Amino acid sequence: MNATRDPYNAFLDLPPVEVPNASAGPLAGFTVAVKDIFDVKGITTGRGNPEWRGEAIPALRNASCVQALLDAGARFAGKTVTDEFAFSLFGQNVHFPFPVNPKAPDRYTGGSSCGSAAAVAGGLVDIALGSDTGGSIRCPASFCDLIGLRTTFGRIPIDGTMPLAESFDTVGWFARNIDVYESVAWVLLGEDRHTTPITRAVTLDGIASFLAGPAEAAELARMRSLVSLPMTSHATLPFSARPDELYGCFRKLQAVEAWREHGEWVTRHDDAVAPGTLERIRYGSTVTPEIEQAERDRRETFRAQFTSFLGGDAVLVLATMPSAAPLRSDSAEALQAYRERALHALCLAGLAGLPQISLPVGSVNGAPFGLSLVGPPNSDRALIRLGRTILSSAGQA
């Protein structure tokens, strides 16, 4: 896609390649953009790093999630910008112009699925594939006023995709409206294996403490009122690990897995990798086997506790992010503080392997602010159906 048709810096400028799709199917007539960590036959998967792209060869086949969309009739529109090695939260890849947030141009899009979110929010495509390891579907969805689902870990095959942290990586997608979103869900998810009706909602006041301030707390309270389920509030986190411990657990395990995947390459090409990305990957080399095992044990305990807390019939209701997207003029120190605040809440679903949907029903400071639901394992389709009800209550479906 050329610059005149892409005012949001969403797409990579790559030579055109014919990508066949079915002429009929549930997604016929829809266009799809693909984050540049998924293989598309005939196109080199660049992983957000020009040096990597220069050394790699074109993909020999499509990632299975890409193929499923093409087989359902979706038409490939192009590859989208991603943060370097998909290891960031704001959409700031120094190798490319930053994608513009169409819903708040003075604010970040969110990463690492930044280009995919910008393409959908700007109306350039109907659907865009992204991934979520630490928040890369949920964060851009909240920032760009989109629907975005972090799927149950392992629910959608992730072959033909660049790994970041293999025990956290999931496939997700963006859309502007729930009808399109549900059409993609039929293709990528099939029927839910979780069949217990969702009849309860719970909140955690401890997680609400990570909101940026009173305006966000008031908007979260309003958004909660849209959830048409009996709701119970818990003043403290009902888990054996504290929020700081859970965040530390996520950070260590994500980093050690990223180091195993990318450490050798970035060590040989450290001058070709942005300092922030390099630092996050190198941190994994400091995680000893003993620390790693202790954190994996902590995660398994937390996963069992969180799954038991939800039972088969409840969702956790929370704000997707601490506030609206940071301003592009914010300092590096402000961005880091926001990142750590956000990941304290984002890490919960990732550690537990649970699905979490972000819904575009809120606004603070004149910018989008998403509401999230975390559900039991494999309740992905149920979350989308509940999302439809909430969007209807908000007058958006």
Torsion over CA: 298, 372, 177, 93 (sign): negative
Confirm whether 131 is a catalytic residue.
Answer: no
Nearest CA among 135, 323, 144, 316 for reference residue 219 = 323
| 375 in Cβ contact with 346 (< 8 Å) | no
Confirm whether 331 is a catalytic residue.
Answer: no
**Two tokens, residue 99:** 């994608």
Determine phi and psi for 388, rounding to 5 degrees: -60, -45
113: CB partners within 8 A, 6+ apart: 35, 80, 82, 86, 128, 130, 131, 132, 136, 137, 140, 172, 174
| 139 in Cβ contact with 116 (< 8 Å) | no
Residue 305: strand, helix, or coil: helix
Q: What is the largest CA-CA distance in the chain?
A: 55
Residues 83, 49: Cα–Cα separation, whole Å: 8
Catalytic residue among 35, 41, 79, 252: 35
| 132 in Cβ contact with 43 (< 8 Å) | no
Catalytic residue among 88, 113, 131, 136: 136
How far out from the chain centre does Cα 14 lie? 24
41: CB partners within 8 A, 6+ apart: 17, 19, 58, 59, 60, 61, 62
**Two tokens, residue 378:** 């494999």
Question: In angstroms, what CA-CA distances link 200 with 208, 215, 239?
Answer: 19, 26, 19
133: CB partners within 8 A, 6+ apart: 86, 164, 165, 168, 169, 170, 254, 350
Catalytic residue among 41, 79, 103, 112: 112
Nearest CA among 89, 82, 191, 76 for reference residue 127 = 76
Alpha helices (H) along 22-164: 50-55, 64-71, 114-121, 138-144
Confirm whether 136 is a catalytic residue.
Answer: yes
Nearest CA among 240, 390, 228 for reference residue 309 = 240
Q: Which residues are catalytic?
A: 35, 112, 136
